[in-house]
Structure 1
Amino acid sequence: MLYLSRPLLAACLYLLLPWGQGRTFGYNNGFHYQDISNGDGNGEIYFSGIRLLVESPQHLVSATRGSSVTLPCHYRYEPELTAPRRTRVKWSRLPAKAITTNEAFALETEVMVAMGNRHRSYGSFKGRVRLRRLAPGDMSLVINELQLNDTGRYRCEVIDGLEDESVTVELELRGVVFPYHSQKGRYHLNFFGAQQACLDQDATLATFKQLLSAWEDGLDWCNAGWLADGTVQYPITAPRHGCGGESSAPGLRSYGPKNRLFHRFDAFCFSASMKGIVYHLNHPRRMNFTEAARACARDGGQVAKVGQLYAAWKLKGLDRCDAGWLADGSVRYPITNARANCGPSQPGVRSFGFPAPHMKFGVYCYR
């Protein structure tokens, strides 16, 4: 329900009277209105005695990268109308990295605007979104070919004249968080370098919520890394000396926001499933990095990226006790079922770091 103070209501009425200027007002949702209803004397504007309700049966939706997903949104009137009304709907999105910031409202961007059979989509959503419209009042948003950056809080806003109601639905991707540092070693990445490092590995900087979920699943890492909101944190499940102290409780250790240009740390990246497959190339001999890249190309693929290997391990159960080159020049291998001679007793992606390019290993390809 929209509320206006008495002075503002009087000003609106003045402009609509014959001696007023009679111009329309621009409302902050991008639509323009040319009339208002009668008030009740208390500054409250009624919508002809009818109440508009916008609802969603599901406020959190999980999906996989590359798939299609539906964000449910329905509207109705109380009491029920006998004839349909002309309504507008606007879907907007707040990126996952901005949900906890004080500037959240200002960072909302439009996804789609529709009225009747006309609609328009925006930005990276062009050609990928539509309204489901399975029944009267169904304004559910269908997103195709989900991308890593599609996560966030979506707002379904229905507008009927001056009546304006909305509901939010949060979209998350099923994926994996992994720590990452550059070939130069630990703590060489500023915020922007960390962003690019994750993108180069088919990933994005993890959000606080994603790191928290990874910690709840057992992620323990004693090196601080950038998150998408510009804070620097690290997850500890087994408190110990040098990682906050033995007497500290398990949890996320936070350095808070840091200077994005001058401060340097590692990165926590988030990767989700992809359409292709990651596999250890069957090859008669070990190869240096250049030979490994050529071998993957001859097999119709390319050297796998770190994010792709982590996603294949976490989401598809890739298990291989053979060290192999990855695209960033590191050597790693994924273990789902821990066993003797394959590293620690826990599942995970084992790393040999960044060996000299002339050294001989296997290779993980992506196709």
Structure 2
Amino acid sequence: LPLLLKATLLRLASGSYRPFYNGFYYNHIMNDNGDGQDKVDYFNGAKLVVETSKDPVYSYSGANVTLPCHYRYEPDMGPKRKIRIKWSKLRDDYTKEQDVMVAIGKTYMGFGDFKGRAHVRRGSRHEASLVISDVRLKDDGKYRCEVIDGLEDESDVVDLRLQGIVFPYQPPRGQYRLNFHEAEQACQDQGAILANFNQLFQAWSEGLDWCNAGWLADGTVQYPIRLPRKPCGGVHLAPGIRSYGPRHRHLHRFDAFCFSSALKGEVFYLDRLAGMTLEEAKQSCQDAGAEIARVGQLYSAWKLLGLDRCNAGWLADGSVRYPIATPRANCGPAEPGVRSFGFPSKGRFGVFCYKER
């Protein structure tokens, strides 16, 4: 017999022959028992496609948000097994920062800060959307939706952006006194987090112009310039984000760019005829069932809620500031903003308080 015919007959005799299947065929795949016995995995020949929103999904701190993700087969054929859905949070360079959750059928498990806050929505046959409840400031960023069907594994990325405000911050002891870790803590103390580049760029596009360099969340040091000038990189550079690049997180010292989002409560102003010291201001807020407001809370109330008060007030870090949404005479510059009197060692002022709803 011809050699090819002999080989075919031998294969039939050995029992390893498989009937023709119009799809993909994989052999010599180790089984889950680890006993060296091969198993065969059939693919239905359909291409798995995963799609998320091409536009960013916007939300705010404390809200619930859905990151859309759907999958399909081309041609349309249902999966032959329970698929696995995995969501991950990514860094700006698309490397994985952390696992968010994994789901198989109706069973799912969240990880880290997302445990108890994340689940998959199955509103339709091929939906794999991620629902995050009680959104937090650090949830801002890129997310990968990964769908795994046997040996097929496809994914797509969606961007979650929080609506909020970037503000520059320096501590009471003065300019350029914070290493990276101290900058992180300073922002947290003010009800905020270190801003990322996208947040700083958005703030710059909305008008932020600040000549002091500050830490960002990725460990770089940058600052936004709308009006080029000599002390801020020179007059010949175009407007934009000036960058010092990555700096040593322990040794180098700069200011910080912080990011805060929506509030779960309200900021309000209290005053006395003769004003208050800082300690008296803290007590007045407590007497009102509140606490003295932090810098991030004041900025959020000004930016997102239109807080406008032409009276200076104490804040929790010992600074004195006031928010102006509608510029007018005797209330500072001609642009809206949060005005600062710095960190007075003496003086009597009103106070901005914060109370949870």
Q: Same fold by TM-score, threshold 0.5 exceeded? A: yes
Partner of 2:225: 236
Change (3 A) 1:158 1:362: same
Tell me what 1:150 maps to: 139
Between 191-200 and 238-247, the greater mean CA deviation after superposition: 238-247
2:351 corresponding residue in structure 1: 363
State the match for 2:88 in structure 1: 92
Deviations 1:246-270 (A, max 9, x none): 2221111111111111111100111
Aligned to 2:64: 68
Measured after TM superposition, the shift of residue 36 of structure 1 is: 4.0
Query: 2:163 & 2:237 partners in 1: Cα distance?
Result: 30
Q: Distance in 2 between matches of 1:82 and 1:366?
A: 53
Q: CA deviation at 1:60?
A: 1.3
Which residues in structure 2 correspond to 1:299-338 (within 5 Å)?
299-338=288-327
1:40 aligns to what?
none
Change (3 A) 1:82 1:148: closer
Q: Is the 8 A contact 1:65 1:147 kept in 2?
A: yes
Counterpart amino acid of residue 303 in structure 2? K
Deviation (angstroms), 1:282: 4.5
Please state whether the residue corresponding to 1:212 is helix, strand or coil.
Answer: helix
The one-letter code sitting in structure 2 at the alignment partner of 1:300 is: G
Does structure 2 retain, via aligned residues, the 8 Å contact 1:203–1:270? yes
Residue 112 of structure 2 corresponds to residue 123 of structure 1: yes
Q: CA deviation at 1:85?
A: 3.8
AA aligned opposite 2:123: L
- CA distance in 1: counterparts of 2:342 and 2:329, whole angstroms: 21
Structure 1 residue 83: Cα displacement: 7.2
Amino acid at match of 2:267: V
CA displacement, residues 18-44 of structure 1 (integer Å, 9 cap, x when unaligned): xx95279xxxxxxxxx6544xxxxxxx
The aligned residue for residue 5 of structure 1 is: none
Aligned residue identity for 2:107: R
Alignment of 1:198-347 (within 5 A): 198-347=187-336
Question: How far is the alpha carbon of 1:130 from its aligned partner?
Answer: 1.4
**1:159 lines up with 2:148 in the alignment:** yes
CA deviations over 1:87-120 (Å, ceiling 9, x no partner): 11011111xxx314xxx42x33211111111111
Alpha-carbon distance in structure 2 between the residues aligned to 1:72 and 1:81? 21
More strand by share: 2
In structure 2, the CA distance between the partners of 1:366 and 1:76, relative to structure 1 (3 Å rule), is: same
1:354 corresponds to 2:336: no
Q: For 2:37 and 2:138, how far apart are their aligned partners in 1?
A: 40
- RMSD between superposed Cα atoms in Å: 1.9
Whether contact under 8 Å (1:326, 1:364) holds in the other structure is: yes
Contact 1:305 1:326 in 2 (8 A): yes
1 CA distance for matches of 2:71 and 2:115? 24
- 1:208-228 CA distance string (max 9 Å, x none): 111111111111111111111
Identity %: 56
Q: Which moved more, 1:196-205 or 1:72-81?
A: 72-81
Structure 1 unaligned regions, length at least 5: 1-11, 25-33, 38-46
- What CA distance in whole angstroms lies between the structure 1 residues aligned with 2:349 and 2:129? 50
> Take 1:315 and 1:307, find their aligned partners in 2: how far apart are those partners?
12
**From 157, 174, 184, the counterpart of 1:185:** 174
Tell me the secondary structure at the aligned position of residue 291 of structure 1. helix
Quote how far apart the aligned CAs of 1:13 are: 4.9
Which residue among 36, 52, 57 is the counterpart of 1:22?
Answer: 36
> Which residue of structure 2 aligns with residue 9 of structure 1?
none
Q: Is the 8 A contact 2:266 2:301 kept in 1?
A: yes
Amino acid at match of 1:304: A
* C-alpha deviation, 1:81, in angstroms: 2.4
- The secondary structure found in structure 1 opposite 2:231 is coil
Cα pair 1:53 1:75 within 8 Å, conserved: yes
Partner in structure 2 of residue 141 of structure 1: 130
8 Å contact kept, 1:58–1:72: no
Gaps of 5+ in 2: 1-25
Q: How many residues align?
A: 328
Q: Which one of the candidate residues 45, 48, 52 is aligned to 1:49? A: 45
